[in-house]
Structure 1
Amino acid sequence: MQRLILVCALVIGLAACGPTPRQEQPELADLYERAPRGPLPDGVRPTAYQMNLEIDPRKSRFGGTVTIDVEFDQPAQGFWLHGQGLEIREVTVTGDNMQDERATWRDVLNSGVAWIHFPRRASAGTVRVAIDYTAPFDANLTGLFKVDEQGNAYALAKSESIQARRFMPGFDEPRFKTPFDLTLTVPETDTAIANTSIASEEVLEEEGLKRISFKSTRPLPTYLLSLAVGPFDRLDGPSLSPNEVRDFSVPLTGYTRAGKANEISYALMMTEPMVVFFEKELGVPYPYEKLDIIAAPQWPSGATELAAAITYRESRILYGPSSGPAMRRALLNIHSHEIAHMWFGDLVTPPWWDDLWLKEAFSSWATGIVLSHMEPDGGYELDAVADSISAMSLDSLRSARAVREPITLNEDIRNAYDSITYDKGLAVIAMVDSYFGAETFRPALGRYISRFEDSVANSPDFFEVIADETNEPDLTTAFRSFVEQSGLPLVSAELQCRDGETPEVSLSQSRYQPLGSPIEESRRWTIPYCLVAASGDTRERVCTMMSEQTATLTLDQFETCPDWIMPNARGAGYWRFTMPDAQWALLAINFGSLEPGEAMTAVDSAVASFEAGKLALPTLTAIANAAARHDERQVVDGAVRAYSTLYRAVSGDDAARAGMEAEIARVFRPRLERARGSERESDRILTSRLESFLARTGNDAELRDEFARAANAYVGLPVSGEVRGLTSDDFATALAIGMQEGGEPFLNAMLASLSDIDDPTFEQAVAYAIGQNNDPALLPVIMDLSMSGQLGTRETYSIMSGQMRQSETKQQAWAWLQSNYPEFVLRIPGQRPRSTPRLAGGLCSPEAVGELENLFAEYGELAPGYERALAEARESIGLCVALEAERGDEIRSYFAGLMPSETAPDDSN
């Protein structure tokens, strides 16, 4: 008996020294309950990736092996990671107590959260996990997708924000910055592009293939990975020369689809001045060994800042024979934005998506800064003001999110990519920069970048560094009050002048609320506030840090009452303002004395005050009409937007519409004639925009005929006599009018011309023009076309968006969408379904709200993350209904009174 006990003890002891016992598989239901819906758990992180993939764009699938070194703080039975739509063939793990042992992959959440279960419990330390898999190329411009263009096949990876999981297993979060070693097997005749340059290349014995190994990357998050394979044309640009900040040269290369290389030369030429500017401003050298500019045949967004391999939708970066001046500026804007990302986002990365503003807002702000340096007379600072104003519409909603708002679900991440993040963030940065001065704020940014390079930084990190570097506590307080709470400040300003006393301005702040707004809660900001007061030739900027609900600004510079005040100096403040009617009237009279940014914000605040039920319509039109006469294009654009806002109320009333059309001609025709006589680039752009506005909203018969004839000639229809030439700036207007005037015959000719006109800007304008159809009888043909896939997935969404905003087709298009929603979401880009409630945002009836809610109650699971877009669309419809009820008759009566007498109805019985 004693011997038996001894034997048993020996067996148990040997077992204890041997391999760890194998683990039981967890139940899928248990994994589902424990799975992280947002960030992955702490304590587990990747330290290196090796990727060995075979990518042949001519095939339907790709695959290979991804090997990840994973570090564990504690012993673990497995770990959470990301992978979506991957066919996992095998997972093997190697660690202290495992050697190439099989592990198990379990798909758990539809958002791409998966579980790898180890065969036995792993010790703390590093485990190497090799995952062999295959997957289909995506058909909707998501993850690793393929496109066929002009008979050639291309494969490209769109990783941002959480789409890398669609083509590779890994830790698909921005906080995990890791070096990548990439090897691709591709067709021998194709070019392969990645984040780094090629280390080695060999032709394989297998016919027609080659293997390319790339150099190791600096630490990158998965969303910045670049994979592009296809018969790209290559154009070598001039290398970026060393300078006082960078002691090495950087190869610069452009890639396009076959036959388009020359059209990327302009972007290459403009790259070095942008890079050098950021290097000198930040004191930090360009961080990568090369810089590739890739024009993708198709791309779901305008561009993505893939590290050292920036990828653009080709219509945004190519500059060819048909390109107009507006196209040139748009190219410079998007290119400088992406170049800025090499520092803001790529070198220093936000750890999670609630801090997206730290890369997107700063890159948006930097765009105006660098372009103003490169072209001082270009008016780019006014473009930044226009962007700021564009954010205010969304920020006027109760449902608007904060610039920095917690994101807890994977499905909600893409909702952070909106005007609040980009444009409100830009506006807040510009406001702080203007108030405290570039010499205080900008050097601190460079030290922030240096402190966190190759790492991650969140908003508290940023605020701490900026506070330390500037020693300006009010700067951080102001930043946080605008970044961390939603809503738009409304500053009420009243000039008060009493005999024998110094003039003063009484200020109060509240949250802006349009008519019908459900906003109830109050807000208070720390506002770096500045206004302008003027008397005769004297103009003074007066500032205060407004942290309380009310404040009084004493105008010590004036002995007598100023002639007028402008409550947003330089237009640099992110707020709207209101004043008593008499002071609005004085501002209208002195409108010509305003700086351009002030004029732009004055028009926006006037429109907003009217929509809040406070400003009289004649005062609003006086402000808008003064803006229409302004020298600067961006100010005139504000007048155009003001009239466009009012147009919806008159579109269904013949007399009111005729009156508005006459007023548009009276106000804007003279400005058009003045712009036509100028060679300034800004006036050439304004000419295109005013012609479009007059032809479409103003229904100018002469211009409509001119555009229709030009469009017919461009798509190959017979036209007699001379026709105007078209540039990329005119394509959308001309084709839209051609579509409206020519109907189905024009549609067929336009589609046929696509095979002959190889111009990406034209192709984009074709989809837009189809969406501008105003014939309800043609809608079934158009929807069949958009759903056929003939034009592409982006175009399917674009066409529906257009038809939902045409007064003649919107109700029929809305009925179609309600009946065909499941099929529709399958044919649009993968990042678009969450936005589909916004398609209904142009509706204006109480019934539409219920129909919208019913649609997403039934089909919401097909559009993960739709809730925010639904709230915005529902609120927008409600605001439209309220404005129509309160001021619709007033608008129609006013413009009906402006109807020309020759078109007025006969008063006789």
Structure 2
Amino acid sequence: MRRLVRPFVLTALAACCGAALAAPATDDQPHGRLPGWAQPESYQLDFKVDPRQQDFSGTTVIKVKLTQASDHLWLHGRELKVGKVAVTDAAGKKHAAKYVEVAPQEGVVRIDFGGTLQPQELTLAFDYTAPLNQQLQGLYKVSHEGQPYAMTQMEPISARFAFPGFDEPGFKTPFDIRLTIPDDEVGVANTKQVKEETAGKGWKKLTFSTTKPLPTYLVAFGVGPWDVVKGLDILPSQYRSEKLELRGIAAKGEGHRMQHVLGETPSIIHTLEDYYGFGYPWDKLDLLAAPDFSAGAMENPGLVTFRDWLLLIDPDSSANYVRGSFNVTAHELAHQWTGDTVTLAWWDDLWLNEAFATWMQQKVTQKVHPEYRADLDRVRGAQGAMNGDSLVTTRKIRQPITGNGDIETAFDGITYQKGAAVLGMFEGYVGEPTFQQGMRTYIQDHKFGNATADDLIDAIAKAADKGDDFKQAFKSFLNQPGVPYVQTELSQEGGKTVLKLSQSRYLPYGSKGDTKQVWGVPMCVRYGTASGSKVSCELFNQATGSMVLEGASKGTWVLPNANATGYYRFAMAKNDLGSLGKQIGKLDDAEQLAYADAVNASFKHGDLDAGDVLAALKPLTSSKTREVAIAPLSSFNWIYRNLAQTDAQRAKLAAWAKAAYLPRMTQLGYHRKANEADSDSLLRNTLADELALVVKLPEVRAELLKQGDAALKRKADGRLDLAAADPDLIGSALAVAVQERGKPAVDALIAELPQTSDPALRNAMLDGLAEANDPALTQQVRNFALDKKVKVGEMGMLLRGGRDTRTERDAAWQWATTNYDKIVERTGSFSGGRLPDLVGGGGCSQDEADRLQAFFKDRAKQVSGAERGLAQTSEATVLCSALVEKQNPAVILR
């Protein structure tokens, strides 16, 4: 934990005698973390911002503790035009200083003092101007219905675009923020506004209360003609004595749509306070709906920012948006404790922020909205992470940071979903009350400071009275990449049923990775007994081992991941897997998802063929639980898109899907029913997409086309009648209309999008455009993605469409490589890790991997994060090709 050091006054004696201390050489440029001998103690940030302008100005004053003699120090700044730097020593003497951009692309800056200064407290003052960023980083500019707004996104390393500072998570200090803005604008920041004063004609200055210690990446503010909506104050709790002010912040004219999320928020806050035993620690809570945003949401303390569609909810909003709103809000508010109150010390422990927020969100959702089935979201999230974690090019949860690209690409399924699954696995192993006790201690011990993985593991181990075996088991999932693959075999030994175990690393067919790897796996198995089933758990931390299944019935069956709490995959003999399949009705929903993943994993491993997979997964399609019923679609869609080669094979697969899902689609109907469960609304949407846009059943497409045509009709005011389609199906309906009606539909949607501010309707239109399948129209849509009428955060929705077939991928490749510079110019370095996938993702042949590597050979180094993205996209392409070659498409017809 980095402690704040109190300011001190340098005495004459210290100034004299300190001269013996050596000054570091000026060639000591940091290529990673900044040196610790200069530490910020506080910031005063003054910004003058008019969103209608292209630039802003700022004054930054930083109190710095210099702990060794030096003639310079290092900090961060990027694209800042610094006009003046003043350094004042502890005696009040000013020193000439110089701002030197040493590594502009990384934002590393040296401040030269003009002479050696001894250890003391310094005050650094900067006057500067900078452009309002156009790529959703730092302090950036967006618009809504023609009105400009300026707002921030500092995480992970974009605060340096907004002000000079020590842009690392380990440096936590208080901040004082002042905003000078036009009289007719509204300003909001992390803390409460405490003062407003005039600042010249047409300007006002807003002063906000001093923050508690924060890293630079959590500083947040916004300027614009915002609607500010007062929510009900959140009542005091056992852990918080004062009521909490709650507000919604939205673009002008949208504030009335914040009522839903404001109504849900108090229950989230109270649930989090009860779990952590620690009251919400900031002086107010604003939820801001951003007109454009690079992430899903951001946990800035006191001013949490979101993509607008997550907060702007109407009575007829899609169930997908309503659920998403609650889940993401719970995630970001969980961060107020894990991430904000306690912050990672360095980016290799990003999981301490994101995995905990993901894991805690699922707890909150399960308590407040059990019908949302967050327990199944946890399992599905872990399984999705396992797909990426099966690559040799995957990351560790605690990935060493070698450059900015490693920081920017750490926000992925490994950090979020794998991390959350590992937490849940060890929570299940020690028990929920014990784990909670450890978490409460961890928060209290490190509040308003920094922490590491060891701090967390030590707190849990102490609460659980566990020793080094437990700690090493936990660390085995943090410090090495990959998914454990547990092979099981039932046997009879001395009259007892024994489950023999061996573990290795799971690698898909065609992988060139090394399987020799061992974890400390908290392994729980369910097996059949005379009275039903039983669960047995052990810590499996060797390459081989065994478990005695006490009370197992004769000819028992076994599920090697009871309750689906484990982050591992299991392998069984084909007959044993078949026996388990016959017990589907005895498994709970989460366990049925574990079974589906085992089938898919065996297929990707090359142990099952496509016919085996379809037969093994078919029983799940009749489940009444949405998440279980659609679990087979991942495997089915891969087979349909990559393996089927003839019309007969595709027809056979379409018949499989029709038999499995059309009766349910017909039962649900094509319009939302009054008071129906939101799970039905979500299932209707998934099945419509699958049956109409993947296997293209004529009867489903006909129903959706009716809605698409109705939505594309013009009203008296000349606008499209988008409300004519079911709100859950409008994206699918417009997609079918685009495919069936062609250019008139595409032209109509492209004309309508700039006139539409509603984010849900914009998303639906983008969904429709992305499904264009005529070559000329797909090119028109991709060209439109580069138009400023499409927000930066919306571009990917259009550019990732149209890649199901090799012909489509070739066309997408040709367009993307031709327009590569324009894509990079609009998206910037923040999206660098996703850039190779955006250009050439979805491939399934060696030559597609080869051309991707050739194109990015020199380019990947020029965009931060692109090298990792290139490695993973290429590997996934090669593995897809290998599995296609391994499989025999003829089995589809048997």
* Same topology, TM > 0.5: yes
Q: Which moved more, 1:574-583 or 1:652-661?
A: 652-661
Partner of 2:787: 788
Out of 363, 367, 374, which is 2:368 matched to?
374
Partner of 1:801: 800
2:812, 2:866 → 1: CA distance? 20
- 1:862 maps to a residue whose letter is Q
- 1:860 maps to a residue whose letter is A
* 1:810-889 mapped onto 2 (5 Å cutoff): 810-839=809-838, 840-887=840-887
Partner of 1:72: 66
1:251, 1:724 → 2: CA distance? 35
- Post-superposition offset of 1:398: 0.6
Partner of 1:435: 429
* 1:317-396 mapped onto 2 (5 Å cutoff): 317-396=311-390
- 2:595 maps to a residue whose letter is A
- Post-superposition offset of 1:804: 4.1
Q: How does the TM-score come out when normalised to structure 2?
A: 0.94
* SS in structure 2 of the partner of residue 329 of structure 1: helix
- Post-superposition offset of 1:537: 4.7
Out of 643, 657, 679, which is 2:676 matched to?
679
* SS in structure 1 of the partner of residue 370 of structure 2: coil
Partner of 2:641: 648
Partner of 1:165: 160
1:699, 1:809 → 2: CA distance? 17
The change in CA–CA distance for 1:121 and 1:728 in structure 2 (over 3 A counts) is farther
Partner of 1:398: 392
The change in CA–CA distance for 1:477 and 1:671 in structure 2 (over 3 A counts) is farther
1:36, 1:802 → 2: CA distance? 41
Does 2:290 align with 1:268? no
Partner of 2:691: 694
- Post-superposition offset of 1:191: 0.8
Does 2:606 align with 1:613? yes
Does 2:228 align with 1:231? no
2:778, 2:550 → 1: CA distance? 64
Q: Which moved more, 1:706-715 or 1:234-243?
A: 706-715
Does 2:127 align with 1:128? no
Out of 446, 460, 475, which is 2:440 matched to?
446
Does 2:587 align with 1:590? no
- Post-superposition offset of 1:19: 15
* 1:208-227 mapped onto 2 (5 Å cutoff): 208-227=202-221
Q: How far does the alpha carbon of each residue in 1:278-323 deviate from its partner, in whole angstroms, 9 at most, with x for none?
A: 1111111101010000011111111000111000010122111441
2:629, 2:616 → 1: CA distance? 11
Out of 237, 245, 255, which is 2:239 matched to?
245
The change in CA–CA distance for 1:427 and 1:705 in structure 2 (over 3 A counts) is same
Q: Is the 8 A contact 1:45 1:72 kept in 2?
A: yes
Q: How does the TM-score come out when normalised to structure 1?
A: 0.92
- 2:610 maps to a residue whose letter is L
Q: Which moved more, 1:572-581 or 1:780-789?
A: 780-789
Q: How far does the alpha carbon of each residue in 1:450-507 deviate from its partner, in whole angstroms, 9 at most, with x for none?
A: 1000000011122222222221234433221111110001111122247x71222111
- 2:627 maps to a residue whose letter is Q
1:19, 1:421 → 2: CA distance? 45
Q: Is the 8 A contact 1:585 1:619 kept in 2?
A: no
1:630, 1:294 → 2: CA distance? 39
1:701, 1:521 → 2: CA distance? 46
The change in CA–CA distance for 1:272 and 1:475 in structure 2 (over 3 A counts) is farther
* 1:75-86 mapped onto 2 (5 Å cutoff): 75-86=69-80
- Post-superposition offset of 1:716: 2.8
Give the aligned CA root-mean-square deviation in angstroms. 2.4
The change in CA–CA distance for 1:539 and 1:673 in structure 2 (over 3 A counts) is farther
- Post-superposition offset of 1:97: 6.4
Does 2:760 align with 1:761? yes
1:43, 1:34 → 2: CA distance? 12
- Post-superposition offset of 1:601: 1.3
- Post-superposition offset of 1:328: 1.1
Partner of 1:547: 541
1:653, 1:726 → 2: CA distance? 35
1:567, 1:392 → 2: CA distance? 17
Bigger radius of gyration among the two: 1
Q: Which moved more, 1:168-177 or 1:475-484?
A: 475-484
Q: Is the 8 A contact 1:97 1:123 kept in 2?
A: no
Q: Is the 8 A contact 2:323 2:372 kept in 1?
A: no
Partner of 1:100: 94
1:379, 1:833 → 2: CA distance? 34
Q: How far does the alpha carbon of each residue in 1:46-84 deviate from its partner, in whole angstroms, 9 at most, with x for none?
A: 001011110100100001210101111111101000000
Partner of 1:303: 297
2:76, 2:498 → 1: CA distance? 60
1:846, 1:692 → 2: CA distance? 30
Q: Is the 8 A contact 2:710 2:725 kept in 1?
A: no
The change in CA–CA distance for 1:506 and 1:128 in structure 2 (over 3 A counts) is same
- 1:301 maps to a residue whose letter is A
1:793, 1:805 → 2: CA distance? 24
* SS in structure 1 of the partner of residue 460 of structure 2: helix
- Post-superposition offset of 1:724: 9.7
* 1:178-197 mapped onto 2 (5 Å cutoff): 178-197=173-192
- Post-superposition offset of 1:664: 0.6
- 1:541 maps to a residue whose letter is V
Paired residues in the alignment total 868
Q: Is the 8 A contact 1:716 1:749 kept in 2?
A: no
Does 2:572 align with 1:579? yes
The change in CA–CA distance for 1:93 and 1:510 in structure 2 (over 3 A counts) is same
Q: Is the 8 A contact 2:711 2:723 kept in 1?
A: no
Q: Is the 8 A contact 1:497 1:561 kept in 2?
A: no
* SS in structure 1 of the partner of residue 59 of structure 2: strand
Does 2:145 align with 1:150? yes
The change in CA–CA distance for 1:36 and 1:735 in structure 2 (over 3 A counts) is farther
Unaligned runs of 5+ in 2: 1-14
- 1:267 maps to a residue whose letter is V
2:249, 2:804 → 1: CA distance? 37
Q: Which moved more, 1:773-782 or 1:360-369?
A: 773-782
1:181, 1:544 → 2: CA distance? 52
Partner of 2:8: none
Partner of 1:632: 625
Partner of 1:45: 39
Q: Which moved more, 1:292-301 or 1:675-684?
A: 675-684
* SS in structure 1 of the partner of residue 632 of structure 2: helix
